[in-house]
Structure 1
Amino acid sequence: MSETFLAGRTALVTGSTSGIGLAIAKAFAAAGARVAINGLGSAEQIASAVAEVDAAGTGGSRHFNADLRDVTAIETMMADLAAWSNGGVDILVNNAGIQHAVPLHDMPVAKWNDIIAINLSSAFHSMRLAMPAMAQRGFGRVINIASVHGLVASKDKAPYVASKFGIVGLSKVAALEYAAQGHRDSGGVTVNCICPGWVETPLIEPQIEARRQGGSRDAGVRALLSEKQPSLRMSLPAEIAALAVFLCRREAHNITGTAMPVDGGWTAQ
């Protein structure tokens, strides 16, 4: 199959101004898709992300601004996307997420509300608005970036774990409801979760540094991962992106309703 097999397709990736989301956006662009970026950042950071995605593909990407805690803002963004993409996105990646780690009894109510809204409710709203058009076309891909914490729990992460378990369940329901849409040749409509363990992004550098104890960075990584991830090595954002691209292939038409761990054996224990 052509490496630009997504030519003519439009993808929305939320939380794609950095990290895993940006890697996915770039991988889709490289596969030929026109990519809509959504995410926070300064004007310079957003412009840089758009430029990176354009450079990975043939250009034409665009940033769509929306506060994912706000249903009206999501509805406006999806309507703008439908006009921009001539009927709606073909590929939807719900990647945006936030976390706040404190014990349950210390969790601020506002943090609970924000985490559930961004990590879970925004995916529900984007899916309900995007998937009917996918069904009409006989092709659609929803890829929800959950987490290993959508499969197992950890202390001090009540809203994050709740949101990730929730998105796994939401994805299974949507997968069942849309499983018969389309056919093998059109590619069908699928809904899947990718559940990363430790991924090498700048956000985890402080945790690595805290465990170095005067040793090398690699020693810090191994000490950090030894707590959960048996492989003792992190995934790269580009590796998560490669899985997302694979799930968009026509041959993946019967892969739906899954929650795929990329966790170095974490959930095998």
Structure 2
Amino acid sequence: MGKLSEKISIVTGAGQGIGRGIAEKFAAEGATVVVADVNETTAKETAAGIGGGAIGVRTDVTSRESVAATVEQVRGQFGRIDVLVNNAGWDKAGPFTESAPDDWDRIVQINLYGVLNTCRSVLPVMAEQGFGSVVNIASDAGRVGSSGEAVYSAAKGGVIAFTKSVARELARNKVNANAVCPGPADTALFASIGGDNPRLREALVKAIPFRRLAQPADLANVVAFLASDEAAYVTGQTVSVSGGLTMS
């Protein structure tokens, strides 16, 4: 019996990276995982790989219609939604003064509106049930800012503030909401925004007290705790998982 035994859990962006690590941890802890990802192939591959009755569903978090269809499918198949993990994210690094508004739109649509869209569909379900847990993957960029990631930082800062607000609104329904802020993590997304540059990578590692980048499992362990009944009295909190890079 794991700490997430029999919990019906939706994890967005779970086809790879941190999301896949979260899905794997959830399955290991007994959850039934809905692997939601815009890439249907990786969603289904991840679901097949973790087992435990997991299903892969193509979900575009920027589309309210796509999100609503996924939520209805989950309710129809499982009858309830116990946990929502908003992990889907995207960034394009570079100086703000050279950035393109089209990229702003995509960054905000995925990182902020994606969270709004899923929560708008899932929170009424949880409120009606009288239980549920939401864990939003934000970023330390949203707490302290990040050079070359101004719009991403703004979107993630919005996720943190939104999480606190819905935690207040839904507390009377016994629904909790918390944010987890990864520091630099060893993922494909990090590599795509410059993390594959050996000099940048070395400088970052030196700045982290634990002297290594985060692995998906580091984040997944904290998310699993916040999604579990062990964290039933924890809500509206922002937890950095950064090896000590940021401390508050």
Is the TM-score greater than 0.5? yes
Correspondence for 1:108: 100
Does 2:68 correspond to 1:75?
yes
Aligned length: 247
Q: CA deviation at 1:66?
A: 2.3
* Deviation sequence 1:207-265 (CA, Å, 0-9, x none): 565335xxxxxxx8543323x43332122111211111111222311111011001122
Correspondence for 2:47: 50
Q: CA deviation at 1:205?
A: 4.8
Correspondence for 1:257: 236
Computing the radius of gyration from Cα coordinates, the structure with the larger value is 1
> Quick check: 171-180 or 102-111, which moved more?
102-111
Contact 1:222 1:233 in 2 (8 A): no
Q: How does 1:1-269 map to 2 (within 5 A)?
A: 2-3=1-2, 5-41=3-39, 43=41, 45-54=42-51, 58=52, 60-86=53-79, 88-182=80-174, 189-205=175-191, 207=194, 210-211=197-198, 221-226=201-206, 228-268=207-247
Aligned-pair RMSD on alpha carbons? 2.1
* Alignment partners' CA distance in 2, 1:14 and 1:165: 19
* Alignment partners' CA distance in 2, 1:68 and 1:48: 19
The structure-2 alpha-carbon separation of the partners of 1:232 and 1:222, relative to structure 1 and needing over 3 Å to count, comes to farther
Structure 1's consecutive aligned runs of 4 or more residues displaced over 3 angstroms after TM superposition are 202-209
Letter paired with 2:123: M
* Alignment partners' CA distance in 2, 1:209 and 1:168: 28
More helix by share: 2
Three-state SS of the structure 1 residue aligned to 2:107 is helix
* Alignment partners' CA distance in 2, 1:123 and 1:208: 25
Q: CA deviation at 1:92?
A: 0.2
Correspondence for 1:217: none
Taking structure 1 as the reference length, the TM-score comes to 0.84
Three-state SS of the structure 2 residue aligned to 1:191 is strand
Three-state SS of the structure 1 residue aligned to 2:30 is coil
* Alignment partners' CA distance in 1, 2:40 and 2:130: 38
Query: Matched residues, percent identical?
Result: 33
* Alignment partners' CA distance in 2, 1:209 and 1:181: 44
| Gapped regions of structure 2 (runs ≥ 5) | none
Three-state SS of the structure 2 residue aligned to 1:173 is helix
Three-state SS of the structure 2 residue aligned to 1:13 is strand
Letter paired with 2:208: Q
Contact 2:133 2:176 in 1 (8 A): yes
The structure-2 alpha-carbon separation of the partners of 1:74 and 1:93, relative to structure 1 and needing over 3 Å to count, comes to same
The structure-2 alpha-carbon separation of the partners of 1:159 and 1:234, relative to structure 1 and needing over 3 Å to count, comes to same
